[in-house]
Amino acid sequence: MKDPYESLGVAPTASADDIQKAYRKLAKKLHPDLNPGNAEAEEKFKEIAGAYGLVGDAEKRKGFDSGEIDAAGAERPRQNYYRDYATSEQDHPYTDNSGFADFMDSEDAFAELLRRSAQAQANRRGHDLAYRLPIEFIESIAGANKRLTLPEGGTLDIAIPPGITEGQVLRLRGKGAPGSGKGGFGDAFIEVEIKPDRSFTRQGDDIYLELPITLTEAVLGARIKVPTPTGAVTMAVPKGSNTGRTLRLRGKGAPMHAGGYGDQLVKLKVVLPKELDPELEAFVSNWQGGKTHNPR
Amino acid sequence: MKISKEEFLSLSGMGHEMLDAWIEEEWLIPGGSSPELSFSEIDIARARLIRDLQVDFGVNDEGVGVILNLVDQLYGMRRTLMELRHAVRTTPSG
């Protein structure tokens, strides 16, 4: 960073009064809000504001003159200036078009353009607002009604359609920011985030579930209850079902765009009792077929 | 982003009386109605500009009013210019 006295154009011996005068003279010319179209002014303004922050303060000036503080520490952090907001598309109450109102009164094409532009400003549609909404896996399949509490206050009721997928965006018309004049409200966009489920996963329109079954059910077959996102159903496990066998529950998957439903695929997993049963142990040790069978 | 009056005071470092006076002068135009005023980021930036004018530039109250009036006209024109530019760019030529 430049020497602060040099930035302000004063001698290092200048009085506090002269420093203030020099700063004010430069700042009036360079303040970014008073020079909205001049990018260079902002850089220069930062420089002189930093310089004045240092040598315009009696204490800090003493520190700088004695070498305890150096000029690098005087740079001001970038702040948002008024001009950044005043010319943004966002509506604000400070816009004043009286500076060219007379131009709008004539009959030429330029006046027509100005009138249209002023009209558009007066009746600007509100901004769209974006939110994220985390939902449960089951809600993503079965659908749900959710209420979102908005960071700026208020709530938004959202009907989640059945079968929604991760990252899908719902549009709520007219639920965005208010517009001006006859501009109407913007829209709210809700991005849906599906929380991972402990049991279910989804691939396309099909839902996958790993289901533990007992040895008895695996060997003898059984009718068992299987959870699906829309409630439990009864499923027949055929006799002699091994771990890894996948059974299909038709129509128990996610709703499809074209109508109809995907399937739920249930992958069986045979689970032995946690504590080894002595009777089972005795049976297996006497079981001749088990000794000749080699699945590897 | 909506900012309450209390938050605005702490963010801008202003006192109650000064803020009330600025609103009275229409230097600041918050949304909502008293006592539930709501401010936004542009109001904070505008308050900072007014402080710069008063403290750093030594402009008195009458001067601030004159400057803000001209600043608002300047920005009104800039916005309209930007819209005209947009209109010209998006109009098919010929």
Q: Closest CB to A97: pick one of B2, B48, B80.
A: B80
Q: Which residues contact A88 (CB under 8 A, 6 or more apart)?
A: none
Beta strands in A18-57 (DSSP E): none
Question: Which residues in A lie closer than 8 A to residue B71 (C-beta atoms)?
Answer: 33-34, 82, 86
The confidence score (pLDDT) of residue A225 equals: 95
Read off the pLDDT of residues B80-90 as tens digits, 9 standing for 90 and up: 888 888 777 87
Let me know if domain B3-90 sits in CATH 1.10.1660.10: yes
Q: Closest CB to A117: pick one of B41, B67, B83.
A: B83
List the end-to-end C-alpha distance of chain A, in Å, as a whole number.
Answer: 75
Q: Does B58 contact A at CB distance below 8 Å? A: yes
Distance CA B61, CA B41 (A): 23
Chain B closest-CA separation from residue A153 CA (Å): 9
Question: Which residues in A lie closer than 8 A to residue B80 (C-beta atoms)?
Answer: 97, 100, 114, 117-118, 121
The domain limits of chain B are: 3-90
Read off the pLDDT of residues B22-45 as tens digits, 9 standing for 90 and up: 999 999 998 877 667 889 889 999
The confidence score (pLDDT) of residue A89 equals: 67
User: Does the beta-carbon distance from A100 to B77 stay under 8 Å?
Assistant: yes
Enter the tokens of residue A239.
């006799």
Place of tokens 């601030």: B64
Query: Which of A273, A231, A226, A219 has the alpha carbon at shortest distance from A247?
Result: A226
DSSP for residue A230: T
CA-nearest residue of chain B to A113?
A: B84
The confidence score (pLDDT) of residue B72 equals: 92
Confidence of residue B13 (pLDDT cuts 50, 70, 90): confident
ipTM over cut 0.90: no
Distance CA A184, CA A19 (A): 52
Q: Is the pTM of this model over 0.80?
A: no
Distance CA A115, CA A141 (A): 51
Q: Does B56 contact A at CB distance below 8 Å? A: yes
List per-block mean pLDDT (blocks of 10 residues) for chain A, which spans 296 residues: 88 92 90 88 88 88 85 62 81 80 81 78 78 92 89 84 90 84 83 92 93 94 93 94 94 88 95 91 88 84
Enter the tokens of residue A139.
């809600």
Distance CA B71, CA A34 (A): 7
Asked whether A218 and A242 are in contact (CB, 8 A), the reply is: yes
Domains plus CATH for chain A?
A: 4-86 (1.10.287.110), 94-122 (no CATH), 129-194 (2.60.260.20), 200-273 (2.60.260.20)
Distance CA A288, CA A6 (A): 100
Place of tokens 């004010």: A24
Question: Which residues in B lie closer than 8 A to residue A92 (C-beta atoms)?
Answer: 40, 42
Distance CA B27, CA B43 (A): 9
